[in-house]
A and B are shown apart, each in its own frame.
Chain A
Amino acid sequence: MMDLSSINPVVLVASLMVAATPILLAAIGELIVEKSGVLNLGVEGMMITGAICGFIIAVESGSPVIGFFAAALGAALLSSIFGFLTLVLLSNQVATGLALTLFGLGLSALMGQGYIGIKAPTTSPLNFGVLGDIPLIGRILFSHDWMVYLSLALIAGTWAFLKFTRAGLVLRAVGESHDAAHALGYKVIRIRLLAIMFGGACAGLGGAYLSLVRVPQWTEGMTAGAGWIALAIVVFASWKPWRVLLGAYLFGGITVLQLNLQAAGATIPVELLSMSPYIITILVLVIISADRRRAALSAPADLGKPFHATS
């Protein structure tokens, strides 16, 4: 029996924001990385490493906040391996990104040995007082934990950084033409390394949001492709911060909706519902890439190209 009336739209919107936050964080980090001209396919590996680092430290210290810091730090450290290999040793970015994912999955499983079945310390929603009691809006806007607001602030911050600051301009210049940026005296490798580590930190926060808030437990391979979906969302967003928000929330909506349908006992098979977010992501990628002009114009021109300064 399917009972659609059990799905409350207001709760749905509020919970899609929570469901979207891990991907939103990972995607905005990857956007900065790709804007600097580097394609890091290791998002999945960095997310899962962040998930376990954050979980371990949060459990040991009892503080989720410290856990989130540890997650960002751990994943940023992991991403610096990618940075060293691709920027200094000039390895292939696609292959190195895959290596990062494979290594991250193994490392996290190894680190998480003793942490299966433990519950993480709770991250409670912020208290907005009266604001939280406003009908509809209160539940949607003022009922979340601090990470949801931080992720929104990161989107706004990234947008402002890329659009209005000199550093943002330099970052984009490096991504559009590393040779020109190098000729102008910008430190291409240093800028890209910083971008990669920022991307790692964001992916780590996203992973930790899964293990500390959304689930909140540690299981091996718990990111289940979230990192890859984050990569797809950057393409969907045409490398624009606000569209990352749109893409992540759309995706969060699909995830929450299919979970709700499963819970409501829809006649659609469970497996079909569980695979729907991946299928829809593929469809969205197809629609975006079918538009030849837009896809070609919006990608950073030097994305994925190795940089070797000869002079």
Chain B
Amino acid sequence: MIRLEKRPSPSKVWTYATPVLAVVLTMLAGGILFAILGKDPLEAIRTIFWDPLFHPQFSGFSRPQLLVKAGPLILIAIGLSMGFRAGIWNIGAEGQYIVGALAGAAAGLALYPSESVLIFPMMVIAGALGGWAWAMIPAILKVQFRTNEILVSLLLVYVAENLLASASVGWLRNPEGGGFPGSRSLSGWDASSNPELIAGTGMHWGVVAGFIAVIFAYVVMSRHLLGYHIQLAGQAPRAARFAGVNPSRLIIMCLGISGALAGLAGLFEVTGPAGQISIDFNAGYGFTAIIVAFLGRLNPIGILLAGMLMALTYIGGELAQFMLALPAAAIQAFQGMLLFFLLGVDVLSNYRIRIGARETA
């Protein structure tokens, strides 16, 4: 008879060990999945996790991609993790990411073809505000009407996707683009471009913002009163109320921060790697960031590492697509599997597993 016994407090060792264990289990299960697809599992795993960094031929191209992909994931996941800790579930980061990109791009393009150096900073602010405003919809509805923020934030993703479609075929379409959908090139216009800052690293302003967000979140969560309130509200909502934590304020803050960070990520993406507003520039980072947040155990440093690992699976997935003809969807399933294993093995940090007959009182 196997049974679980709740630990008085989560195990320190397992807190660090479970993400690693989950990654190992996912590699095993992923290997089985790849074998079913008729690929050599060892080769597939090596192509995904090793070759992007160390392959003599491809690593030169894929190593910089690591930061390009990790930047938005970290930026979004940091914001999400603060809310998740407080039990506030913003799962519509994808929508905030899109609206941030749209708001920033629209603000910049309104001044086209000016070459002022103020344009890019203004677009950054507009991007953050756009994401923030989109996240305020579920926040205000939750505070005012107790509407479930999970459903509202997610449904707004579909609204944002339609906005994006109308922008790229309508109100933000490149007037000189010959009628093709998509905005003017933002990366090609000096005033709005978000270039690689150090050649060959993939480092752009979005990655810098991601690193700043990690430090900011670390300080807030461990040193600031807001971080304390977030943790208190997540662990003991009743106690938090008695301690004077204002739940409405916390909802507004958490959704606002995560929305603004997601909006920033979107803006940096359309001005940099994506280069323009197009109907499908959003690559699902807003959803993958949820996995990143959990894989990093909702801890800023953990999210930094998890973002890198997740970026690796993206790049490795592309490489495996190219080298082994592994379908792109396999990586998506692989990432989903990782979250399953992560949530499953978490039982080890919160519970002791007791094997043997039940003691009778």
- Which residues of A line the B interface, CB within 8 A? 41, 81, 84-85, 89-92, 94-96, 98-100, 102-107, 109-110, 112-113, 220, 224-225, 228-229, 231-232, 235, 269-272, 274-275, 278-279, 281-282, 285-286, 289-290, 292, 295, 308, 310
CA distance A272 to B144 in the complex (A): 26
Which residues from 158 to 214 on chain B have a C-beta closer than 8 Å to any C-beta of chain A?
A: 158-159, 162-163, 165-166, 170
Q: Which residues of A contact B335 (CB under 8 A)?
A: 102, 106
A292 to B145, alpha carbons, bound, how many Å? 8
Say how far B343's CB is from chain A's closest CB, in angstroms.
Answer: 4
Q: A94-B89, A94-B150, A225-B157 are known contacts; what are 8 more A-B pairs with Cβ within 8 Å? A: A89-B347, A91-B346, A99-B291, A99-B339, A103-B337, A110-B327, A228-B155, A308-B6
* Docked-complex contact A281 and B155, CB < 8 angstroms: yes
Question: Helix, strand, loop or mixed for chain B's interface?
Answer: helix
A107 touches B336 (CB 8 A): yes
Residue contact B158 to A113, C-beta cutoff 8 Å: no
Partner of B151 from A84, A107, A232, A290 at Cβ < 8 Å: A232
A271 close to B329 (CB less than 8 A): no
Cβ distance B190 to chain A, nearest Cβ, rounded Å: 31
Question: What residues on B are CB-neighbors of A89 within 8 Å?
Answer: 343-344, 346-347
Q: Kindly list chain B residues whose C-beta atoms are within 8 Å of the C-beta of A235.
A: 148, 151
Is A81 a contact of B340 with CB atoms below 8 Å?
Answer: yes
Q: Which 6 pairs between the two chains have the least Cβ-Cβ distance?
A: A103-B336, A106-B332, A109-B329, A106-B333, A271-B166, A275-B162
Of B141, B327, B333, B351, most A-chain CB atoms within 10 Å: B333
Q: Across the interface, name the chain B residue whose C-beta is closest to A109.
A: B329
B162 cross-chain contacts in A, Cβ below 8 A: 271-272, 274-275
Say whether B336 contacts A104, CB under 8 Å.
Answer: yes
Chain A residues, CB < 8 A from B290:
98, 102
Q: Is the Cβ of B333 less than 8 Å from the Cβ of A107?
A: yes
**Chain B residues in contact with chain A, CB under 8 A?**
4, 6, 37, 84, 89, 91, 141, 144-148, 150-152, 154-159, 162-163, 165-166, 170, 287, 290-291, 294, 327-337, 339-340, 343-344, 346-347, 350-351
The listed residue with most A CB atoms (<10 A of its CB), out of B290, B294, B336, is B336
Q: How far is the CA of A99 from the CA of B346 in the complex (A)?
A: 14
Q: Are A289 and B146 in contact (CB under 8 A)?
A: yes
Contact of B347 (CB < 8 Å), options: A91, A285, A292: A91
Chain A residues, CB < 8 A from B158: 224-225, 275, 278
CB-defined contacts of B159 to chain A, threshold 8 Å: 275, 278-279
Q: Are A285 and B344 in contact (CB under 8 A)?
A: no
Q: Please determine whether B336 and A99 come into contact, CB atoms closer than 8 angstroms.
A: yes
| B343 near A285: Cβ-Cβ < 8 Å | no
**Inter-chain contact B91/A98, CB cutoff 8 Å:** yes
Residues of A within 8 A of B147 (CB): 282, 285-286, 289-290
* A269 & B170 in contact (Cβ 8 Å cutoff): yes
Min CB distance B339 to A, Å, is: 4
Q: Cα distance A278–B329 when bound, in Å?
A: 26
B140 to chain A, nearest CB (A): 10
Q: List 25 A-B contacts (CB under 8 A).
A: A85-B343, A89-B343, A89-B344, A90-B350, A94-B89, A96-B343, A98-B290, A98-B339, A103-B339, A105-B336, A109-B332, A110-B329, A110-B333, A225-B154, A228-B155, A229-B155, A271-B163, A271-B166, A275-B158, A281-B151, A282-B151, A285-B148, A285-B151, A290-B146, A290-B147
Tell me if B327 and A113 are in contact (CB < 8 A).
Answer: yes
Are A282's CB and B336's CB within 8 A?
no
Q: By the criterion CB–CB under 8 Å, are A286 and B291 in contact?
A: no
A-side contacts of B4, CB under 8 Å: 90, 308
How far is A278 from B138 in the complex, measured between Cα atoms in Å? 13
Q: Which residue among B162, B287, B327 has the maximum number of chain A CB atoms within 10 Å of its CB?
A: B162
Contact A278 B156 (CB under 8 A): yes
Q: Which residues of the other chain, A, contact B344 by a CB distance below 8 angstroms?
A: 84-85, 89, 91
Chain B residues whose C-beta falls within 8 Å of the C-beta of A91 in the assembled complex? 343-344, 346-347
